[in-house]
Amino acid sequence: KNIVILISGNGSNMVAIANTAQKEQWHEKLQARVACVISNKPGAEGLASAARMGIPTQVLDHKQFETRDAFDAALQRAIDSYQPALVVLAGFMRILTPAFVSHYAGRLVNIHPSLLPAFAGLNTHQRAIDAGCKVAGATVHLVTADLDHGPILAQAVVPVLPGDSVAALATRVLSQEHRIYPQAIKALLASAEPLN
């Protein structure tokens, strides 16, 4: 089972998934492996981390495409060359077209840094602090055409502490993302149901 991971930046969730796959021997136990990491940003820091771990990488710069449809079609071709069981969005900062999303229905997952359905969209940590939330967290969900609203697979909760900065809260949430994302992916790969 091939896993393809899409990133745009640091790729710390991607690293957490790849490390867990290595440590827990997903190759042996689940016949699963991280087959490729694809970035839409040529300079994404996560590309170097993936290369260091021996994972093939590809860059598909969205700026080289005239339209969102053309970019998504090229991305789909790149991904499908791996015949993936699972496509993992890990800090991939592009909105995907409905055609792309429906092509991967049931095998496209995302992590969002809030307790969905609260705070879909951007600036989640600032919004949670501004709202006076006492807890925040992260959500792993299946991706559907409705942005940040697909079926929830896993969540983790952290406290919002008095005087928290966005950076402090983001760090606390991110460390939980690194825990729940690999486990949610493992559960999906291990489930008896076909993924699509």
CB-nearer residue toward ligand GRF: 46 or 84: 46
CB-nearer residue toward ligand GRF: 84 or 91: 91
82 backbone φψ class: left, alpha, beta (φ>0; ψ -120 to 50): alpha
Footprint (CB under 6 A) of ligand GRF, residues 5-34: 7, 9-13
* Stretch near ligand GRF under the rule CB under 6 A, chosen from 3-11, 78-86, 94-102, 185-193: 3-11
Q: Which residues are annotated as a binding site?
A: 11-13, 68, 93-96, 110
Footprint (CB under 6 A) of ligand GRF, residues 108-127: 111-113
C-beta of residue 111 within 8 angstroms of C-beta of residue 138? yes
The site map against ligand GRF for 30-69 (x = CB under 6 A) is ----------------x-----------------------
d(CA 154, CA 29): 22
Closest contact distance (angstroms) between CB of 45 and ligand GRF is: 8
Sheet of strand 135-142: strand arrangement: 57-59, 33-39, 2-7, 84-89, 108-112, 135-142, 152-159
Cα 68 to its chain centre, rounded Å, is 20
